[in-house]
A and B are shown apart, each in its own frame.
Chain A
């Protein structure tokens, strides 16, 4: 039997609290946003920090971030009661609202991402525009913005600008996801959300999920294409993932330990919440199985000497479990917070929807969309090859 908060004899919820207003759409919205931020950070390892080892996945990470970004706002749109008014957030933003700034942060970030990708792939667009004919040529010509000449100076400038944008992109990615955490962390009415650690927990878990999804995608793509795996690169990426997750998990545990130790009025509802409605998904899911197992797997994979298939399997299982961990974390935060009625004397029931507007099917479709988009894009542009290899200087270099 669930322990009830604040000395309640019966589960009492406020009459207007019977529904969980923010459901699966608001669970996958920070999840997708997190994948963008995380994937971008991986691309920056090469594009900004110039760590050559991550060069083979730098563009892959960037394209993946772009694909996740394309659909990050879709769950919000589906969730809105008046989606036709969504653009008003841009036109009449109410600046005291944490949510109102999202449109600008998100759009600015997507613009930066598009320009960076364009600068990196411009050389390829030009090469295709010069080599193809007919409609194809028109499309590539359009993508090259009508410029079909390429000079060594252009290459240098493109590289320089892309690097500057990637550098700006790191704090911007942090802002984008830290901001998502702030949307929840600043709601004082919901004690499960209201913590100053929320933005940084969201940010660190975003980086975890971003790296994890890239590892799983990379392995899957290389397995499908029968191409060789870059074991050494995967091992290094796994080490970064492992360290980031330990940091993230420490923050998550610190936050709950802090509330428990203070034993203030928040614990009166949070204690029964995690030992009651969230017991399975938080304690056993997020904290125990989906955190301990991947930590051990990734730790072993990183520390042991071998870097072959065994390591690859361990890293992939660990990454997959971490993807689930972050998904569980998003669910536990978003839905969990609303399970505490504002009456502080009872818990709301969460009903899973399957076919509804905010059901599992819609969430699944939205979540699948970035992967389908990635597949389509990868048919047209080289992801794992360096686009600079397609450079045919025209006019030729003068010296």
Chain B
């Protein structure tokens, strides 16, 4: 029965030790080549986020030094997304660093701008900044991890979204978000948050808040396009994210963020 095999010793045995070892070595080398850092192409910023094989990979940049605390972005967001009163998909905080401590406020989410602070705070102020906040559309989002039915999910292009057809309104995602970006929308009893205006992006527009910003403090763009504003700014490397200790991998990057900001 095994005659043919024993009669032709020159024919390579597919199960021989030599073939097996050759395959192991070539497999290992190939694997190492694929996973060695820098072995793949791509521009510098590719290390900031997990590479995804999608047409776009969106990111958001907030340049704190450019924000004037006008609040038009918060109003534009509320109008665009029918955000109920008392809740915010985006908001602006005012940080005043004084010799006694940190003063922070965000009256009505900063939607109507900011009144001057009391004299006692102003007199002791060292510096002040307006800091816009929103969902960070994390690469490793804890809200997605905890959702019991998968109603919150991460889209391949980087959006963290809520499927209102499946949301139970249990608020576990609200608890899990370290940034206070989520809330239960009282009108629909479901979880709600910033979507980066997904509906507008799909129409080739910018998010409402970005469009409303008069100073260019808010930027949105495609990291897959090396010439986009976000790619160029991120390549310069002077960015940070909120709560890096949470290891959520935000894709909302900050430029000039004061160290007091949480």
Q: Is the pair A93, B148 in contact by a Cβ cutoff of 8 Å?
A: yes
- List the A side residues contacting B150 at CB < 8 Å: 92, 94, 97
- List the B side residues contacting A94 at CB < 8 Å: 147-150
Q: Known: A14-B180, A79-B170, A345-B262. Is A187-B102 also a contact (CB below 8 A)?
A: no
In angstroms, Cα B142 to Cα A7, docked, is 27
Q: Is the pair A85, B148 in contact by a Cβ cutoff of 8 Å?
A: no
Q: Is the pair B180, A341 in contact by a Cβ cutoff of 8 Å?
A: yes
Q: Known: A85-B166, A94-B147, A99-B170. Is A9-B103 also a contact (CB below 8 A)?
A: yes
Cβ-neighbour of A80 out of B102, B105, B169, B181 (below 8 A): B169
- List the B side residues contacting A188 at CB < 8 Å: 142, 176, 178, 246
The contact string, 1 if C-beta is below 8 Å from chain B, for chain A 9-47, is 110101111110110000000000000000000000000
Residue A48 CB within 8 A of the other chain: no
Q: Is the pair B175, A187 in contact by a Cβ cutoff of 8 Å?
A: yes
Q: Is the pair B167, A82 in contact by a Cβ cutoff of 8 Å?
A: yes
Number of contact residues on B: which range applies? 35 or more
Q: Is the pair B168, A82 in contact by a Cβ cutoff of 8 Å?
A: yes
Which A residues contact B (CB, under 8 angstroms)? 6-10, 12, 14-19, 21-22, 76, 79-82, 85-86, 88-89, 92-94, 96-100, 102, 183, 186-190, 265, 338, 341-345
- List the A side residues contacting B69 at CB < 8 Å: none
Within 8 A of A (CB), among B33-91: 86-88, 91
The contact string, 1 if C-beta is below 8 Å from chain A, for chain B 113-147, is 00000000100000000000100000000101111
Q: Is the pair A9, B98 in contact by a Cβ cutoff of 8 Å?
A: yes
Interface segment out of the listed B18-26, B182-190, B209-217, B226-234: B182-190
Residue B179 CB within 8 A of the other chain: yes
| Contact count A vs B, C-beta below 8 Å | 139
- List the B side residues contacting A7 at CB < 8 Å: 101-102, 260
Q: Is the pair B175, A21 in contact by a Cβ cutoff of 8 Å?
A: yes
Q: Is the pair A82, B169 in contact by a Cβ cutoff of 8 Å?
A: yes
Q: Is the pair B166, A12 in contact by a Cβ cutoff of 8 Å?
A: no
- List the B side residues contacting A19 at CB < 8 Å: 183
Q: Is the pair A9, B174 in contact by a Cβ cutoff of 8 Å?
A: no
Q: Is the pair B166, A88 in contact by a Cβ cutoff of 8 Å?
A: yes
Q: Known: A9-B103, A99-B170, A189-B175. Is A89-B180 also a contact (CB below 8 A)?
A: no
In angstroms, Cα B91 to Cα A82, docked, is 27
In angstroms, Cα B109 to Cα A86, docked, is 33
A–B complex contacts, Cβ < 8 Å, 26 sampled: A7-B260, A9-B98, A9-B102, A12-B105, A15-B180, A16-B180, A19-B183, A22-B175, A79-B170, A80-B169, A81-B169, A81-B189, A85-B149, A85-B168, A86-B168, A89-B168, A93-B148, A93-B149, A94-B150, A97-B148, A97-B149, A99-B148, A99-B170, A100-B149, A186-B146, A187-B146
Q: Which residue of A lies closest to B100 (CB)?
A: A9
Residue B241 CB within 8 A of the other chain: no
Q: Is the pair B104, A345 in contact by a Cβ cutoff of 8 Å?
A: yes
Nearest 7 CB-CB pairings of A with B: A81-B169, A81-B189, A14-B180, A94-B150, A189-B178, A342-B180, A100-B148
In angstroms, Cα B174 to Cα A19, docked, is 11
Q: Is the pair B180, A22 in contact by a Cβ cutoff of 8 Å?
A: no
In angstroms, Cα B243 to Cα A189, docked, is 10
B92 to chain A, nearest CB (A): 10
Q: Which residue of B lies closest to A94 (CB)?
A: B150
Most A CB contacts (10 A, CB to CB) among B91, B176, B260 go to: B176
In angstroms, Cα B218 to Cα A36, docked, is 52
Residue B223 CB within 8 A of the other chain: no
In angstroms, Cα B104 to Cα A14, docked, is 10
Residue B172 CB within 8 A of the other chain: yes
Q: Is the pair A92, B149 in contact by a Cβ cutoff of 8 Å?
A: yes
Q: Which residue of B lies closest to A102 (CB)?
A: B148
In angstroms, Cα B180 to Cα A98, docked, is 20
In angstroms, Cα B198 to Cα A389, docked, is 69
B154 to chain A, nearest CB (A): 12
Residue B171 CB within 8 A of the other chain: yes
Most A CB contacts (10 A, CB to CB) among B133, B142, B149, B184 go to: B149
In angstroms, Cα B91 to Cα A17, docked, is 12
A28 to chain B, nearest CB (A): 16
Q: Is the pair A89, B148 in contact by a Cβ cutoff of 8 Å?
A: yes
Most B CB contacts (10 A, CB to CB) among A6, A81, A186, A344 go to: A81
Q: Which residue of B lies closest to A189 (CB)?
A: B178
Q: Is the pair B176, A187 in contact by a Cβ cutoff of 8 Å?
A: yes
Residue B235 CB within 8 A of the other chain: no
In angstroms, Cα B245 to Cα A132, docked, is 69
